[in-house]
Structure 1
Amino acid sequence: MESIRLPYKNDDFGNPMFANVYWSSKTSGSSLRPIALVFHAGGFMAGDAETTPKVQKEYLANRGFLVVVPEYRLLPQVTGKQIYQDAEDSYSWATEIIPAALKSEHGVEIDPKRVVVMGHSSGGTLALHIGSLHIDVVKAVTAFCPALFFADPNNTAHFPTSVPPFDGIPDCTPTEEQRAAISPPGKQISAAPFVFGRKEGEAIPVRVLWQASVFKRGQWTRHLSPDGDFVSLDPMARVDAKWPPTMIIHGVDDFVPGRDVEIVKRAEKVLKDAGVKSEVRLVDDAGHLFDHVASVGTTDQGSKWKEAVAGLDWLSSHVGL
């Protein structure tokens, strides 16, 4: 798999923000490649382009996609509206700038009128958002364990939680020094590696502690939208029959606030009732980001990888790959 890292915009301080771009040199060059725009996980508070599993990026590239994974600014330095603007800007860059650049520099020809969008967790919400804005170009969306219906004031994302694993997470009120690390002066953080595990005795990064504490305290939505305008950030508040084909994949044992099984079942009904071509897949014995475990798709080719592949194949099937 070939890859390059390119700036696609600057933050408010003039610092570049990047996207990773992937394609397979083994794919026949006889036809134009569609674009797969992929948004990483991290609760809008962490993550970077490397967060999305490499095996999934390779799978899409080998199917014939140009895979674009943009990074976006993170809470708490910005709000959800600025993050969503980054997602929209990355879409514009991927469809308007990248095709000519890749053809000139690498001989890779792109079809900017055939786009699919995918994301995990908060990135899944961004994927739904972009899909809802570009219904004439986006051919399909796959959202893994997205945050849904947070415009609903009764959504669990608005309230403190004590369900595992949050019951064992200590509260984190950052010190001045730690706040400076989370929100450094002169730069807006758009890449913060997402930690899935740690060695015994290894310190947990302060951003990870702060992130978990925000969810535990029920403060995530307040950081996302301090002005309380959740409707503009909640794709499920504007489901329409014109939406592109949409698949949601969700672990039955996902207990992250705003992402429980009942909320996913509600999304399934709303999509069906609106007339959207859609499929919801509930994965047994699977928690949040079950497909991000390093073994899934590498040494483990079992049921969890097959569910991930179903989401990837949903995308390729709607652009003729």
Structure 2
Amino acid sequence: MAAPLRKSTQQFAIHEIPLECDIYDTSDYPADSPVFLFFHSGGLAGGARSVVPPWLVQVCYKRKWPLVSASYRLLPQVDGKCLLDDARAAYQFASIFGAGTPSERPVIAGGASAGFFLATLIAHHLTPKPVALLSITGIPTFRHPFFNSSVLIPPDPIPEADVFRYLTEPVSTGQSPGSSDAVFDLDRLLPDGTKNPDFDAKTKINMSDYPQDPNRGILYDYWLYENQFVHLVGDADPGFDWTRDEAEKLKLSEWPITIFIQGDGDEDVREDVCRDVARQLGIKAIYCQARGQGHLFERTKYLEDVITVDPQGGDAMDAVRKAVAELDNAWETELAMSRS
């Protein structure tokens, strides 16, 4: 019988404030299996590391991959280079977590929504590269036209007066999951790693544990309309136009396989953001489209769940399962190369 899944919390850095991560593993994971490093959603302005999709926990548990969900400092109190520093520290922590040998462990880096941006920073700036990147309706770059075209998501522009308190508050990490349904709890899974049908988030999750104002997330909509993201993080975001440069062929050849899960009805991160980057990455990218789905459509789902797509039929969770299969392929390829 498999050892039970457990959760622990560790501090992995102090960058003005302590940075912590939640680790989901068991006592019998191999010391050389890859670590999945996850960065939470929230527009770089909110969210919480406790928001981990149940299906992702299932994937890592079944494969005996430690799952590390890391905090990072929020905008606008920091810039892109600070986010890179936080991502670097989390990546270094993941690479030596529980390692039984002097060599570093392989790491798969991924994130949901804006959290994926930190995963791409790792691939852009750090070595060794991750085994693979997994985008969950993610943002690979803020240099895409979507973030520089005064896109308006709410009915009306958000006045600065409505966000001023967030612009002037002290530096912080994400502590606002938004709802109890989004928080991962060990009791969401049965001992065999399948969905616990009796789990009730409203009675199990205490939202008073998350004191941060959940409305802080409106900063994303504010900055999107004001075209501020490149100003905020552009110092670390090179975008992907370099893929067209003959002089960058080596960088492209070393870029990790990048798997995109993306809904074609996403209004918060329009589909062409990831699709365009996937085209630029060419054979390094695998695109898994979920028809008729919006942003973070899978956030509370399990591998065995079904999201019926109307009127065509089909299951939108097939995009997630396809991405997982491609992730397995990337890891098997990495293993084969390391043994050759």
* TM-score between the two structures when normalised by the length of structure 1: 0.76
Matched, 1:74 2:74: yes
Q: Where does residue 92 of structure 1 map in the other structure?
A: 92
Alignment of structure 1 residues 1-321 onto 2, 5 Å: 1-12=5-16, 15-25=17-27, 29=29, 32-96=32-96, 98-99=97-98, 112-134=104-126, 136-151=128-143, 155-162=145-152, 166-168=153-155, 171-174=158-161, 179-180=164-165, 183-185=168-170, 188-195=171-178, 205-222=214-231, 224-225=232-233, 229=234, 232-239=236-243, 240-256=252-268, 259-272=269-282, 276-292=283-299, 294-295=300-301, 297=303, 300=306, 303-320=315-332
User: Which deviations, in whole Å up to 9, do the C-alpha atoms of 1:173-223 show, x marking residues without a partner?
Assistant: 346xx75566534xx211231426999xxxx8431334333323433333x
Contact 1:99 1:110 in 2 (8 A): no
Contact 1:132 1:235 in 2 (8 A): no
**CA positional deviation for 1:170:** 6.0
Report the residue type matching 2:155 in the other structure.
G
C-alpha separation between the residues in 1 aligned to 2:51 and 2:33? 24
Contact 1:99 1:111 in 2 (8 A): no
C-alpha separation between the residues in 2 aligned to 1:193 and 1:55? 21
**CA positional deviation for 1:137:** 4.8
For structure 1, the 5+ residue unaligned runs are 104-108
Contact 1:174 1:210 in 2 (8 A): no
C-alpha separation between the residues in 1 aligned to 2:223 and 2:180? 19
Report the residue type matching 2:68 in the other structure.
V
Contact 2:177 2:214 in 1 (8 A): no
RMSD, matched Cα: 3.1
For structure 2, the 5+ residue unaligned runs are 182-201, 203-212, 244-251, 309-314, 336-340
C-alpha separation between the residues in 2 aligned to 1:169 and 1:110? 55
How many residue pairs match? The answer is 285
> Residue 34 of structure 2 aligns to a residue in which SS?
strand
* TM-score between the two structures when normalised by the length of structure 2: 0.72
Q: Where does residue 106 of structure 1 map in the other structure?
A: none
